[in-house]
Chains A and B, each alone.
Chain A
Amino acid sequence: MKSYFSELFTGAWSLILGLKVTIKALFSPIVTYQYPREKIEVTPNYRGHIDLVKFADTGTHKCISCGSCMRDCPSDCIVVEGEKREGVKGKVLTIFTLDFTKCSLCGACVEVCPTKALDYSNEYELAGFAREDFHYDLLKRVEERE
């Protein structure tokens, strides 16, 4: 008989405490992001697909077309081509493409690059309608980037 009433009171009290929790939640600010309209900042550690880095001092990339990344790539998804030009020291990069459909994001290319010209991008909106959407022209991307 004693437990009958004590259970009733402890139960009722716990119900009131529960209501207090939710009413507090009701008047606290929302924590979700309205994704397509609001975007969160991606942490710098995020490892997206690779990208050529644009250096502020030269205003362009520092790729010397050595092809180390191409040779090191275990998935064979990087194509690098360069050519000799009159009056320019070293080779000039003409093609740098990444086939992201095959890339395993191992990062070997970034590790091996002698001039630190490669880095991971912060790109996370990766949806497309065709496989070719993921054949990135990194040279074009670095030129278009401001």
Chain B
Amino acid sequence: MEIFYSLLPELIRMVVCAICGAVIVFGNALVMGYAERKLAGHIMFRPGPMEVGPHGIYQLVVDGLKLMGKQLVIPKNADKPLFMLAPLLAFGPVFVPLLVIPFSDKIQGFDHDIGLLVILALASINLLAILTGGWASNNKYSLFGAFRAVSQNVAYEIPMLLSLLSIVFMTNTFSLKGVVAAQSPVWFIIIQPLAFLIYLVALVAETNRAPFDLPEAESELTAGFHTEYSGMSFSLFVLGEYANMFIVCSVATVFFLGGSSGIPLPYFEYSGVIWFLLKVYALMFFLVWIRWTYPRTRFDQLMNFCWKYLIPFSLVNLLITVVMVKLL
């Protein structure tokens, strides 16, 4: 009992963190789903969802209910256990990275000294889910989508990691809080603009979004890896995708945009979260914006861009950073 009481505050903290994580994942999917469709509409000179509620704000709720009510169809020749596992694999791991993200000085699940590695390791599981789903569907479109996802993600993880690594060399820590603390006078976007650009391009590819949405290229692969998924199993993929967007944008905010730093507000240890979310959603807006601007790249263009431009540039950037850190 003694141990229980000594652990109680920590347990409560864990429960609160888990609930907040769930709220972020679902709330973010609702907000982004609505914003995506609304922005897509206005970019195309049309109003977007308008029917359900004022300006269609309940559209995503209704869509969610519809998806919950739909039948989960499992193809006859599919690998049933893997087919069922894939959406869970896409959706489950997205909660954990949220725990180490410092939303403000005091709002953070727990500050781990390998926080960045936790995020990167768990973000890669999403790729495994795509591969599992594509393989288990036993469908040529799904399989091609999965193959593309793997080659694309493996390629783009390199510049992504290298650009983050150049920051890590400067701050000498993997802890996200430490990285935020290191950029108190100047944000790293000013010191490392090239790394930021590389990370930005790589994160679009990592989240499989247009113009790099080849794993689900509608015009070529019907719906890519989630062709055979219906109802909730499909929406788990979508939830996972939006949560991953949130996570990679949070990492970009922490590493390049100064985390929760900004114009001081009252109770800044907590209210810094406003700045943090503002920066994250500005990046998310940028992702939506480019999605409705650029056409999808061809696969060889995608690969050439990564191997011929991003990786050499990030290596050079890393090298310069290392030399500068050593000299200064």
A34 close to B50 (CB less than 8 A): yes
| B192 CB, nearest partner CB in chain A, Å | 18
A22 close to B43 (CB less than 8 A): yes
> When the two chains form the complex, which single residue of A15, A25, A31, A32 contacts B43, counting CB atoms closer than 8 Å?
A25
- Judged by a CB distance under 8 angstroms, whether B267 is at the interface is no
- Judged by a CB distance under 8 angstroms, whether A126 is at the interface is no
Interface size class on chain A is: 10 to 19
Interface size class on chain B is: 10 to 19
A19 close to B42 (CB less than 8 A): no
- Judged by a CB distance under 8 angstroms, whether B294 is at the interface is yes
Give complex CA distance A107, B241 in Å: 58
Give complex CA distance A29, B308 in Å: 41
B293 close to A22 (CB less than 8 A): yes
Q: Within 8 Å CB of B45, what residues of A?
A: 25, 28-32
Chain A residue at minimum C-beta to C-beta distance from B309: A8
- Judged by a CB distance under 8 angstroms, whether B15 is at the interface is no
Give complex CA distance A34, B294 in Å: 27
| A34 CB, nearest partner CB in chain B, Å | 6
| B156 CB, nearest partner CB in chain A, Å | 17
- Known: A15-B294, A18-B294, A25-B42. Contact between A32 and B289, CB under 8 A? no
B290 close to A19 (CB less than 8 A): yes
Chain B residue at minimum C-beta to C-beta distance from A14: B294
Chain A residue at minimum C-beta to C-beta distance from B42: A26
B46 close to A32 (CB less than 8 A): yes
- Judged by a CB distance under 8 angstroms, whether A21 is at the interface is yes
Q: Within 8 Å CB of B42, what residues of A?
A: 25-27, 30
Give complex CA distance A88, B42 in Å: 63
| A29 CB, nearest partner CB in chain B, Å | 8
Chain B residue at minimum C-beta to C-beta distance from A15: B294
- Judged by a CB distance under 8 angstroms, whether B187 is at the interface is no
A26 close to B290 (CB less than 8 A): no
One digit per residue, 1 when the CB lies within 8 angstroms of any chain A CB and 0 when it does not, for chain B 26-47 equals 0000000000000101111111
A26 close to B46 (CB less than 8 A): no
Q: Within 8 Å CB of B43, what residues of A?
A: 22, 25-26
- Judged by a CB distance under 8 angstroms, whether A40 is at the interface is no
Give complex CA distance A22, B160 in Å: 27
- Known: A8-B309, A26-B42, A30-B42. Contact between A21 and B47, CB under 8 A? no
- Judged by a CB distance under 8 angstroms, whether B292 is at the interface is yes
Show 18 residue pairs from A and B whose CB-CB distance is below 8 angstroms, ordered by the A residue: A8-B309, A18-B294, A19-B290, A19-B293, A21-B293, A22-B43, A22-B292, A25-B42, A25-B43, A25-B44, A28-B45, A30-B42, A30-B47, A31-B45, A32-B45, A32-B46, A32-B47, A34-B47
- Extra 17 A-B pairs, beta carbons < 8 Å, given A15-B294, A28-B45, A32-B47: A18-B293, A18-B294, A22-B43, A22-B293, A25-B42, A25-B43, A25-B44, A25-B45, A26-B43, A26-B289, A29-B45, A30-B41, A30-B42, A31-B46, A32-B45, A32-B46, A34-B47
